[in-house]
């Protein structure tokens, strides 16, 4: 990890203990909340990169919630090799020092690798809030959907209440009580909305990170699996959320769906975060994921949706989850997703 300095409005904060306390004064958060790597402050900006526009800052978050080292940990590197940083005209923050190696389930929260996940969640939160503080538009590259609570914790800390567009082939509404896998990824939306309150409290502090009424979930095609496992439907867990499932998007068409999404987001002018799980692409065209979904959505449909959000100034940040590089030996799907992201957000 790069030896770094913090920049904040008003000038340079040097590294070392003096820099740490200065950063704490500016950021108004305890020392433990400032990301460190090997005892040093992590770089957020350099003298030549003081942010003047809303430029993308790529933040690698190789957090993978099975604790088995599955291929999601290789995704940030795969996107970089495919040219994402250059394509977005972004600055690359590098990878946060996150590793989930503990495959055991926490007896209280039911989450695999709970302590490492909680540490990773804090690092992601600190990186996102710090990036927003100095004017970047963060794009957090997972990892799996376990990156979402950290991203929204950082967003909330910096910006206050915001909306969430959750573009995912699943609803991620499992809880510690009904999860089979124990992976936080399957509980991501339940945690951030506070439906899985005990898990959320243990990870991210006060919940909800986003009000259910401020959630727009797009692309769900997972009803069968949810019913088989006894997990909640959105209507029960987060009844105030807006859900446009994959079937409805297919029947209305992506253009109409994008317009409807924009209309739903239009109220109050609140900023919103976009979480893009690439398994919203149908398994026939996106096999490089750990939990494929039969959404029926193709690249063109997803590109139309992403472009609608990418062109919106209220889009404050993005997280990208679930590319499993073990299932992408030819780097074909890393390349295709990179093209999508560049097309929508450059
Ligand atoms: Mn997901």
Q: What does the pLDDT read at residue 205?
A: 76
321 CA distance to ligand 1 middle (Å): 7
188 CA distance to ligand 1 middle (Å): 7
C-alpha 103 chain-centroid distance: 22
27 CA distance to ligand 1 middle (Å): 31
133 CA distance to ligand 1 middle (Å): 27
Per the structure block, which two tokens stand in for 315? 């889009």
207 CA distance to ligand 1 middle (Å): 19
Q: What does the pLDDT read at residue 307?
A: 97
170 CA distance to ligand 1 middle (Å): 6
22 CA distance to ligand 1 middle (Å): 37
322 CA distance to ligand 1 middle (Å): 7
- For the stretch 174-180, contacts whose Cβ atoms lie closer than 8 Å and that sit 24 or more positions apart, written own/partner, are 174/229, 174/231, 175/110, 175/199, 175/231, 175/232, 176/109, 176/110, 176/111, 177/110, 178/229, 178/230, 178/231, 178/232, 179/110, 179/231, 180/229
Intervals of the chain under pLDDT 70: 1-54, 134, 267-268
Contact 249, 218 (CB under 8 A): yes
Q: What does the pLDDT read at residue 24?
A: 53
pTM for the model: 0.87
214 CA distance to ligand 1 middle (Å): 18
Q: List domains and CATH numbers for the chain.
A: 51-345 (3.40.800.10)
3 CA distance to ligand 1 middle (Å): 33
278 CA distance to ligand 1 middle (Å): 8
Helix (H, G, I), strand (E, B) or coil at 11: strand
275 CA distance to ligand 1 middle (Å): 9
Q: What does the pLDDT read at residue 322?
A: 98
Q: What does the pLDDT read at residue 51?
A: 42
Q: What does the pLDDT read at residue 49?
A: 40
Beta strands in 145-294 (DSSP E): 163-167, 215-218, 242-244, 272-277
Q: What does the pLDDT read at residue 112?
A: 96
Q: What does the pLDDT read at residue 53?
A: 54
125 CA distance to ligand 1 middle (Å): 18
Per residue in 274-318, pLDDT tens?
Answer: 999 999 999 999 999 999 999 999 999 999 999 999 989 899 999
Q: What does the pLDDT read at residue 163?
A: 96
């Amino acid at each position: 990890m790069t030896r770094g300095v913090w920049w904040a409005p008003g000038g340079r904060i040097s590294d070392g203990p003096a820099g740490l306390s200065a950063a704490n004064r500016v950021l108004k958060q305890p020392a433990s909340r400032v990301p460190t790597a090997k005892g040093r402050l992590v770089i957020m900006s350099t003298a030549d990169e003081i942010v003047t526009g809303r430029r993308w800052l790529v933040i690698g978050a190789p957090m993978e919630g099975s604790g088995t080292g599955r291929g999601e940990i290789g995704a940030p590197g795969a996107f970089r090799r495919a040219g994402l940083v250059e394509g977005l005209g972004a600055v690359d923050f590098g990878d946060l020092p996150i590793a989930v190696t503990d495959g055991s389930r926490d007896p209280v929260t039911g989450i695999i690798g709970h302590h490492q996940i909680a540490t990773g969640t804090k690092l992601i939160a600190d990186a996102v809030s710090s990036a927003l503080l100095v004017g970047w538009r963060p794009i957090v590259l997972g990892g799996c959907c376990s990156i979402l609570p950290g991203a929204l914790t950082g967003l909330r800390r910096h910006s206050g209440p915001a909306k969430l567009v959750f573009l995912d082939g699943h609803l991620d509404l499992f809880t510690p009580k009904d999860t089979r896998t124990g992976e936080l990824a399957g509980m991501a939306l339940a945690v951030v909305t506070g439906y899985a309150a005990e898990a959320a409290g243990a990870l991210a502090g006060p919940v909800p990170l986003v009000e259910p009424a401020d959630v727009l979930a797009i692309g769900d095609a997972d009803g069968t699996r949810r019913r088989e496992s006894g997990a909640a439907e959105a209507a029960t867990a987060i009844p105030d959320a807006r859900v446009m499932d994959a079937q409805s998007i297919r029947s209305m068409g992506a253009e109409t769906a994008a317009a409807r999404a924009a209309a739903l987001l239009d109220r109050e002018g609140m900023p919103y975060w976009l979480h893009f799980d690439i398994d919203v692409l149908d398994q026939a065209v996106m096999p490089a994921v750990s939990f494929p979904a039969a959404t029926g959505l193709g690249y063109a449909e997803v590109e139309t949706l992403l472009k609608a959000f990418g062109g919106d100034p209220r889009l404050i940040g993005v997280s990208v989850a679930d590319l499993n590089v073990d299932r992408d030996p030819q780097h074909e799907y890393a390349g295709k997703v990179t093209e999508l992201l560049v097309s929508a957000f450059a």
